[in-house]
Structure 1
């Protein structure tokens, strides 16, 4: 019997930092700069109150100063953790210096962006108060100090990567683990509430929040905290899911404007549609460029039977559950009709056919106006004045007082979409972990090998296509009522605003293919960013392209990645074939001997 050995890769030796400074002095520079950055947020940064956030007051931070304060505090914590202060070691379980640099960059980016924005918006550097100059210099010091700290390499990836072999976390009682999950969920709710509450005319504040979240998240990732939090979520998956659901329920009660609840409802609508597309693209590996058409089929089917006076069947008004079943059924039928003749194609050919189907749907509903074709969809005018839903006597179009807070129309639809999202997540998880789900993954990895193993590739792909279409149709029924009307213009491959197929596909790819939270996170970012940064709406596709290029370069598995994708896209240091044979318990000899 031979003895198997495992080849291990020794970690790369740490190199000196880019800036030639002694490490103790560099850490001191980071700490001093972080403290100075925090102190500068209590000074006035400009004398003109026209800049969003009113940064003219001395004594307390406001607007972008608050974000700079948070970034400075994060930098200070990582600087102190580097000194080995008791109680702060959990912040950096990996022990590397990359979190210090990334936290310092977050403060630097927020402060310097604010200074540039003040100068640009108000017309020159003369609009900067001494507090802004102090903040700019102070935020530069931690970056210089962090660049002087040693790290394994000099490349950009070496500066943002987390170290290998992060030690396991100390055992914690179950209640403490659940408390950590609850606190992290609460933090996510605070960040989302702050971001969605930024007014449309305060794009500078929203950009500052994006910079803080981007570099702050990278610092937490480089420290290894995301890895440990993922382990906690996997250990308490049911509790974590419940915590996220409760946070979403609490969200409408934190808003004073129903418009923000409208944003939340639409994010959930497009997030659930992206989850349906994730079955097709993420699990099965089929590139569908016309998926938004299934959302349109469900929306039109529900609009036709919901009592609108502009509907071809204006005298028909069915309950919501019936309208939902009709929308799902119509999308399911169209999914089978389109999928049956086309799913025997692969790769680019399938993508072209699905793109053609999406355009055919939009053109068809645009021509069913009684002049170019039968009068069914009212052509480009669409079906308008769709009445609000009434479920068990509860009118979703009216405001209601719940727990002392007034929940408006969009808040009601947000609660409805939460229930539908929970249903779709349940269907996705059950399907992905079932026998058919494993068949989808096998088809995605290698269709030829899967077919050789006895999997009926065509039938499996058709089931994925039909299930994804029906989930999009379910979301389409709510989409029709939330927007009061259904028109053909949004249902195209790429448009000025979602929904469109490019938006949905980008949400899946950016968020993380094959995961549940990835498409929801991707849809939230891609819907909220153009909404808050109105000047980017003309460059939406350009922004999608830049984001995809950066993500494919630095994190090809998406923001939220499953274990399979991480192993596929990143080197793990493990050998594909061991140097010596492993014992085969079935035949009693080693594989090398066999």
Structure 2
């Protein structure tokens, strides 16, 4: 990296000195974790002890040691190890940047929580100065090594072990993040986690992990399901944490349905929350609530299917006359549909229309689910672990998300999915090649709406009450942001995006007035530096980085290797295409 305004010759001259400074700063930064950072233990996770680091201080210790190791490797293995070129310096820069941001946030949190910077002890200032010194030193390193670990020949046992370790880290990260009630600790830990991800990306390790995961996809899916299943057992019966977790799963299942509409078919839908609301209202009206407006109370399985079908019917009704337009016009129409749905639910109060929803009061008192004699509203003890109401809903939603992922994956890999992608890329060209454009667009709208309606039927029992004000445009915007942020057309990306956008507002309530502004800024930064999303598909990577010849060659080699592994002769894929 070349620093603007600084001659390259000057950077090259001081680069050896900068390496040594960065190594020394990394060692001292690790040692600063044993110093007190605050006068009182009331700030963060008690960083006031001398010689007794807290968890946050231990992470800074790890950052310091990691920075030192990467810098030593950049000197010792300046040309890489063997035939791999590893981005040691890129990783070191990311670690130094993350450490500096984390220390600034820590100092600000201590000052805010204890009442002034005077409460920051010498250890906190020393760690901040060392992080700044490491940051400046790494900026003088202009040697950029392109990480390329994707073609590494990895033994099967090592790949499986790496997947298992990643899943354990994910489980611990989710447990620790949800367990934090202190805002400063949560934000700092989020910066730590984000820095680790950036380091993996910059060093090329993330590409290697992606390659390993694709080779052992079944192991990855099984490990992810086991980790998700074990998550409630790590919460100690906490209702608050499990409530957030269930909201994340509801949001994720709904976002997966929107991913079909936006990510695959390329239809910009700004009123998608209406389908979730339709499913929730249908479930509430058919429930055994004292305020239910329909006298028929079928089993929940039947109610869930009816909710999905009603939402799909709404999708067909709104889609039939409007899907002949596209782009901005379709976005405006769907935005209007979302508002029409909310106003219509308010008017179904018995005065302006039939009494189906009780107007703005909605339908309260929706009872908990009862499936096959299992009461979801009661606490249960399994293997000595206490599981509350939200834990029960969590397991049901976990099954729902698994089914939604299965449906999405099958559709994505089918002829229908290829038709959707063709429509998204060039609707006129797809129509010229014989693709039933209108039929596939309508099917995308209806199938996405069906999945949202099913999720809404569970949400009604989870939230206990259903009101029109729960389904406003802002919720549609968050759903769309989750799809775009995570990576359109991918499963893992949407799950990550939904998790971030649903969990962050719950943990950032201390900045309630500014959290939307913070989200907006983060999205702007994200779209500037990684427009394809956190987890991008190969096609999206090539769309946004078409000038990256190395990326195109690597993707083509992976496709070629996959074709040979399946017994397809080289070049057959292109001919078939």
Q: TM-score, normalised by structure 1?
A: 0.87
User: What is the correspondence of 1:154-553 to structure 2 with a 5 Å cutoff?
Assistant: 163=146, 166-199=148-181, 202-256=182-236, 257-313=238-294, 315-494=295-474, 500-553=475-528
Asked if structure 2 preserves the Cα contact closer than 8 Å seen for 1:96 and 1:163, the reply is no
Report how many aligned residue pairs link the two structures.
545
* Partner Cα distance (1:384, 1:303) in 2: 8
How far apart are residue 220 of structure 1 and its match?
1.2
Q: 1:58 to 1:377 in 2, by over 3 A?
A: same
- After TM superposition, the structure 1 stretch with the greater mean CA deviation from structure 2, 279-288 or 30-39, is 30-39
Per-residue CA deviation, residues 370-399 of structure 1 (Å, 9 max, x unaligned), is 122211001111111111111122211111
Q: For residue 89 of structure 1, report the CA deviation from its aligned partner.
A: 6.0
Note the alpha carbon deviations across 1:244-265, whole angstroms, 9 max, x for none.
1111111111102121111111
Q: Which residue of 1 aligns with 2:529?
A: 554
Deviations 1:307-331 (A, max 9, x none): 1110112x43322211111111111
Q: Deviations over 1:3-44 (max 9, x none)?
A: xxxxxxxxxxxx959856644443332222222112211221
Residue 574 of structure 1 and its aligned partner are, at CA, apart by: 7.0
- The structure whose residues are more often helix, as a share, is 2
* In structure 1, C-alpha distance between the alignment counterparts of 2:503 and 2:47, rounded to whole Å: 25
Instruction: Name 2:542's counterpart in structure 1.
Output: 567
Question: Structure 1 residues 417, 525: CA separation in 2 closer, same or farther (over 3 Å shift)?
Answer: same
Once residues 417 and 453 of structure 1 are traced to their aligned partners in structure 2, the CA distance between those partners, rounded to angstroms, is 40
2:159, 2:213 within 8 Å by CA — same for their partners in 1?
no
Moved more, 412-421 or 50-59: 50-59
Q: What is the alpha-carbon distance in structure 1 between the residues aligned to residue 202 and residue 9 of structure 2?
A: 17
Structure 1 residues without counterparts, runs of 5 or longer: 1-14, 153-161, 495-499, 577-584, 586-594
* RMSD after superposition: 2.4
The answer (yes or no) to whether the contact 2:281–2:357 under 8 Å persists in 1 is: yes
Question: How do 1:66-145 and structure 2 match up within 5 A?
Answer: 66-84=58-76, 94-145=86-137
Higher-RCO chain (CA-CA 8 Å, sequence separation at least 6): 1
- Conserved 8 A contact 1:325-1:474: yes
Q: Is the 8 A contact 1:17 1:147 kept in 2?
A: no
The structure-2 alpha-carbon separation of the partners of 1:451 and 1:186, relative to structure 1 and needing over 3 Å to count, comes to same
In 2, Cα distance between equivalents of 1:168 and 1:520: 24
Following superposition, the deviation at residue 209 of structure 1 comes to: 1.6
Bigger Cα displacement from structure 2, 106-115 vs 382-391? 106-115
Deviating runs (4+, > 6 A) in structure 1?
none
Contact 2:431 2:437 in 1 (8 A): yes
C-alpha distance after superposition, 1:400-429 (max 9, x if no partner): 111221111101111111000000000000
Kindly state the Cα deviation for residue 222 of structure 1 after the two structures are TM-superposed: 0.8
Question: Aligned with 1:217: secondary structure?
Answer: helix
Instruction: Give the corresponding residue for 1:158.
Output: none
